[in-house]
Amino acid sequence: MTSITSKAVRIDQQGGPEQLKLVEVTVGDPRPGEIRIRHRAIGLNFIDVYQRDGLYPMPVPLQLGMEAAGVVEAVGEGVTHLQVGDRAAYASQPPGSYCEVRVMPAKCVCKLPDAISFETGAAMMLKGLTAQYLLKKTLPQGGLQAGDFVLFHAAAGGVGLIACQWARALGLQLIGTAGSDAKCALALQNGAAFAINYSTQDFAARVKEITGGQGVKVVYDSVGKDTFEKSLDCLRPFGLLASFGNASGPVPPFAPGILAAKGSLYITRQTLFHHIATRESTQAMADDLFAMVSSGQVKIHIGQRFALAEVRQAHIALEARKTTGCTILTL
Ligand code: NDP
């Protein structure tokens, strides 16, 4: 029986960044359906903040982190798609990626193409698969066609910069919002057709101007509380609000009648983890992402790197809106 020591980041109770503690854990052999993976880089995601601070109640103690890339070190019984020595990357449920080595379910882990670096793999899996399902599986009535307007909030963030580029590749006119002029410029460089600084401008009024009064087919809203109601005002009749996060706080309760009043609208709130519930769906979505990245249509912008031991600073920067693109933890 193998017993390996790994550095890991754990919380013993939910709360502020000070709860993040670097500890040593013991890692054993994979059981049936599992692998052991040695990480080469780890992805940071806003969901890590929700799980740390208690917005998403979680059992503690908890090893945080949902994304990483590395090398497969051991393979449990019944795992056929991975072999020892494979380069691999994943977005995982349950959490636990903030570490050097872990044992985890194999079904969410994909072989990483040789052309994609470990850092890129670690940065892009959770965020890239999210952009994939938002743009290709979360569709308004009649689907999306080239030329359609969509609105994407926090467009200079991790998911945002990937979505800007993917939307451009699909021929969509993505209107991105961001919290500063510099972030707006970055969204434009990455494929947004228009950018709105929502810290200084009324984004609903600007969207109406840009779309000639029509509104957009879909609003992708991960900001939540601060943007929800105005996001509805950006939609054309029968448009879709795809709510997928709560960076500013959760969306407050609302009466469905508001959807009728604002144009017989649709609303959906999805999570990546239902889309990647099976090995087959995970691989199909990952293949799509790998193709976009390998072809250069989507470039993964790693805006910040922190050592695993600096994870508190990484969380503080992400929460303070000081990051752009993806953030990784290095080993
Ligand atoms: P980002 O890099 O996009 O960081 C979040 C961004 O949200 C900030 O940079 C900031 O951009 C914006 N923001 C607006 N208001 C606030 C606020 N009050 N506090 C902090 N940030 C704010 O993070 P990720 O790429 O990791 O994730 C983007 C969003 O997508 C998150 O909300 C995340 O939870 C969600 N998500 C949802 C998934 C799902 O399946 N449902 C899967 C993956 C991510 P700015 O300064 O430009 O406003």
* Nearest ligand 1 atom, CA 226: 15
| Closest atom of ligand 1 to CA, residue 273 | 40
Per-residue pLDDT for 194 more than 90? yes
pLDDT by residue (tens digit) across 31-50? 999 999 999 999 999 999 99
Look up the ipTM and state it. Answer: 0.99
pLDDT, one tens digit per residue, over 59-112 is: 999 999 999 999 999 999 999 999 999 999 999 889 999 999 999 999 999 999
Residue with CA closest to ligand 1 atom 46: 179
Whether residue 271 has its Cβ less than 6 Å from ligand 1:
yes
As a whole number, the mean pLDDT across the chain is 98
The average pLDDT across 300-312 equals 98
CB of 272 shorter than 6 A to ligand 1? yes
Which pLDDT belongs to residue 262?
97
What single-letter DSSP state applies at residue 251? Answer: P
Whether the per-residue pLDDT at 2 is higher than 90: the answer is no
pLDDT above 70 covers a percentage of the chain that reads 100
Q: Which domains does the chain have, with CATH numbers?
A: 4-128+273-330 (3.90.180.10), 139-269 (3.40.50.720)
Distance between Cα 45 and ligand 1 center (Å): 8
In the reported structure, the alpha carbon of residue 152 is separated from the centroid of ligand 1 by a whole-number distance in angstroms of 11
Tell me if 193 sits within 8 A of 187, measured CB to CB. no
Q: Which residues of 264-296 are buried (b: 16+ CB within 10 A; e: fewer)?
A: ebebeeeebbebbeebeebbebbebbbebbeee
Q: Is 130 near ligand 1, meaning CB less than 6 Å away?
A: yes
Q: Please give the angle made by the CA atoms of 268, 200 and 301, to the nearest 5 degrees.
A: 65
147-178: pLDDT as tens digits: 999 999 999 999 999 999 999 999 999 999 99
pLDDT at residue number 89: 98
In this prediction, residue 122 carries a pLDDT of 98
Q: Best substitution site from 133, 181, 222, 323 to test ligand 1's pocket, by max atoms within 8 Å of Cβ?
A: 222
Q: What is the pLDDT of residue 1?
A: 82
How high is the pLDDT of residue 125? 98
Predicted confidence at residue 286, as pLDDT, reads 98
Q: Is the pTM of this model over 0.80?
A: yes
The percent of residues in the chain predicted with pLDDT above 90, rounded, is 99
Identify the band that residue 302 occupies on the pLDDT scale cut at 50, 70 and 90: very high
**From ligand 1's centre to the CA of 293, what distance in Å?**
21
CB 323 near ligand 1, within 6 Å: yes
According to the 3-state scheme, what is the secondary structure of 152-220?
ECCCCCHHHHHHHHHHHHCCCEEEEEECCHHHHHHHHHCCCCEEEECCCCCHHHHHHHHCCCCCEEEEE
Say which residues have a Cβ less than 8 Å from residue 84's Cβ, sequence separation at least 6. 72, 73, 74, 75
Cα 159 to ligand 1 centre (Å):
8
What number does the ligand 1 atom closest to the CA of 50 have? 34
Query: Of ligand 1's atoms, which has the minimum distance to the CA of residue 323?
Result: 9
Cβ–ligand 1 contact at 159 (below 6 Å): yes
**Which tens digit of pLDDT belongs to each residue from 266-282?**
999 999 999 999 999 99
38 C-alpha to center of ligand 1: Å? 28
pLDDT digits (tens, 9 = 90+) for 279-297: 999 999 999 999 999 999 9
